[in-house]
Each structure stands twice: as C-alpha cells, then as structure tokens.
Amino acid sequence: MTKKRIEKMFAKLKGTDDKAFIAYIMAGDGGLDTLPYKIKTLIDAGVDLIEIGIPFSDPAADGPVIQKAGIRALEENVSLRQILKKLREIKDDIKVPYVLMTYYNPVFHYGLREFTKDAEASGVSGVIVPDVPLEEEPELKNELDAAGIAIIRLATLTTSDERLEHILDEAEGFIYAVTVNGVTGKRAGYSGEVFDNLKRIKSKSGVPVCAGFGITSADAAKALGEHCDGVIVGSEIVEMFHRCEEEKIKNLIPKKHAGHAK
C-alpha cells in the first residue's frame, strides 16, 4: 500500500503546520543515469514528494519547457519500462514518496495490469495522468486500487461545483489543483480568482489539496500555499537541472517551521 506514504507525509507536515513542496522532474532528461542524482538533489533540497515525469511524443498539456525536456529524454531513447526498472534499483534510497506523471498512452501500451505490477515493485505511490479525466478513469483505477497505488485527480478553475464533488469523492493521495487555464510553465502572477478557487476546493476536499502550474518562486509558492496544503513546481525545476543550476532549487522552497520532514 504505497499510497499510505503520501498520507503519512501530509500528516507529518500538518503536525508542524507546514506545507508540502512537490517537485516535478522529467525522467531521462540528461540521460536516465542522472535520475538517482536528481532525486537525491531534490531530497537534500527539502522536497516532500517527487513527481517523476514520463516523456511522451505528444504532450498536449505541457508548455515549452517540459515539451523540450520530453523530447530530450526521447532522444536518449528513454522509456517507461526503463524508468520503472531504474526506480526499482534505487527505491530504498528514496526517502520521500514519489508518483509518476504520465500521459495515458505509454501506460495503456505497457498493459494496465503489467504497468501496475511493475509500478508497485518500483515503489510508486501514485500516478497522475493528465489526459485521463474522471470519465475515463475506471479501467486504470481498477488495476491501481488492487495494488494500493493512488490515482491523483486534477481539478481546475473551470471545474463546476457539481463535477468537483465527483472528483473529490473517493479522491486519493492529494488533489492537484491546476491554477491556470492553460498548460504547464511560467506565469506572471495569480489573481484572486485562483485563491478563491483553491479555497473552494480545499473547503470540500477530504484529501490534501496542492496547487500547481506556473509557480516559479518561493514567494509564489508561499502565497499559494496559504490557501492549500502544498505546491507543485515543475518547469522551473526542469529548467534548473537542464542549465546545471540545481543548487538554486532550494531557493524555491519556502522555509518550514519544522526541519525537513523525512
């Protein structure tokens, strides 16, 4: 029941009134051999949960930074199968929970049952599949449920109240609250509408709510964090690794009351 690791992580943060900082990386960007180093770097920087991105040829929900990272990974011939194998080798060294962020086709093509088995063996706590909305979720969820892997759902500004109820019903892990109408990547700032939406989701949710899309600074992370349980930073971290500026990652993470929760 690897998804329990997510619950434990949030429970611990709640105890010290801290917010989760979730980092996204593209597996295979810079070669798959760099994955253990990247994960270690993130943990040392104080990241609470890691989203491991799976490269896909047609990433329709991603902005330019993650698109390019995905292309670089594909040029290295990195596949979901290899990524799971690598995770399996190093899973005992990864002291924070980790989830996969992947488009559906690599998983579907892998075979849902086989994927679930391998993901479980690789210590994966959850999956985020941006192109599988609630309507299309059952076939995947059935498999993941049996293995205790969470399927992490997204909610957006345009999600109606009625729909939100369905999304929150039986939600697992946390809710990924998309803060913009758009794709991943940089944004100038957030409007009151975004905060209101976070409050709306938070007030109804039985699981933690984390805000993602477009966060590029500790200030933005802190501001959003006040209205939810954590933040997700992707493009900025992907770019820092790509530019070999990973020492800057820790500057994105707001200070915690307690030391880093390991």
Partner 1 sequence: MIETYKYPDTDGKFGEFGGTYVAESLIATLEELKEAYKNAQEDPEFKREFDYLMKEYVGRENPLYYAERLTEKLGGAKIYLKREDLNHTGAHKINNAIGQGLLTKYMGKTKVIAETGAGQHGVATATIAALLGLECKVFMGAKDAARQELNVFRMELLGAEVITVDQGTATLKDAVNEAMRYWVQHMEDTHYVIGSALGPHPFPQIVRDFQSIISKEAKAQILDKEGRLPDKVVACIGGGSNAMGMFFNFIEDKDVELIGVEAAGNGIDSGKVAAAINRGSVGIAHGAKMHMLQDDNGQLQGTHSISAGLDYPGIGPEHSFLFDTKRASYEYASDKEALKAFQELSRTEGIIPALESSHALAYVMKIAPELPEDEIIVVSLSGRGDKDVEMVKAELEAGKND
Positions that interact with partner 1 (CB under 8 A): 56-64, 67, 71, 74, 79-81, 104-110, 130-133, 135-136, 153-160, 163, 167, 178, 180-183
Minimum Å gap between C-beta 258 and partner 1 is 33
**33 is known as an active-site residue:** no
Angle, helix 192-204 to helix 218-225, in steps of 10 degrees? 50
Q: Is 61 helix (H, G, I), strand (E, B) or coil?
A: coil
Q: Is 18 a catalytic residue?
A: no
Cβ neighbors of 168 (< 8 A, separation 6 or more) are 155, 175, 201, 204, 205, 206, 207
Active-site option among 62, 118, 229, 239: 62
For residues 181 and 203, which CB has a smaller minimum distance to partner 1 in the complex? Answer: 181
Helix axis angle, 112-121 to 138-147, nearest 10°? 30
**Closer CB to partner 1, 43 or 83, in the complex:** 83
CA 194 to chain centre: 19
| Alpha helices, DSSP H, located in the chain | 4-15, 35-45, 64-75, 80-90, 104-110, 112-121, 138-147, 161-168, 192-204, 218-225, 235-242
CB of 108 to partner 1, least distance (A): 5
Amino acid at 259: G
* Nearest-approach distance from CB 47 to partner 1, in angstroms: 24
Q: How far is the CB of 261 from partner 1 (least distance, A)?
A: 29
Backbone phi, psi, residue 126, to 5°: -165, 170
| Closer to partner 1 by Cβ: residue 59 or 254 | 59
Sign of CA dihedral 67, 72, 73, 77: positive
Residue 17 or residue 135: which is nearer to partner 1 going by CB?
A: 135
Choose the catalytic residue: 48, 51, 143, 239: 51
Q: Which residues are catalytic?
A: 51, 62
